[in-house]
Amino acid sequence: MQSTIIQIGNSRGIRIPKVMLEESGLEKDIEIKVTPSGLKITPIKKTKRKVSETLALSQNVLAREWDTPEEDTAWANL
């Protein structure tokens, strides 16, 4: 299939027919990469994290950002 690059606001884009979108699996979130032969568009598969994984990540971030000498000093002065 051939198409034309069109102006969309300050950007440019292409129209992708509905049938091609359905066959490709492209939905809302995509990744676009430049390759030697042109552009490659692939769908981004979202993975759902388990609640326990999310909590573990939160605890790791809090431990890293809050466990500092500056935090200890700030809490000691309250």
Q: Examine the pLDDT at 66 and tell me if it is beyond 80.
A: no
Average pLDDT of the chain, as a whole number: 79
State the pTM of this model: 0.48
> In the chain, where are the structural domains located?
6-43, 47-78
pLDDT, average across residues 13-20: 88
User: CA dist 13 to 31, 42, 45, 65, Å?
Assistant: 15, 16, 23, 42
Report which DSSP code applies to 44.
Answer: P
Give the dihedral of Cα atoms 13, 18, 21, 22; nearest 10 deg.
Answer: 170
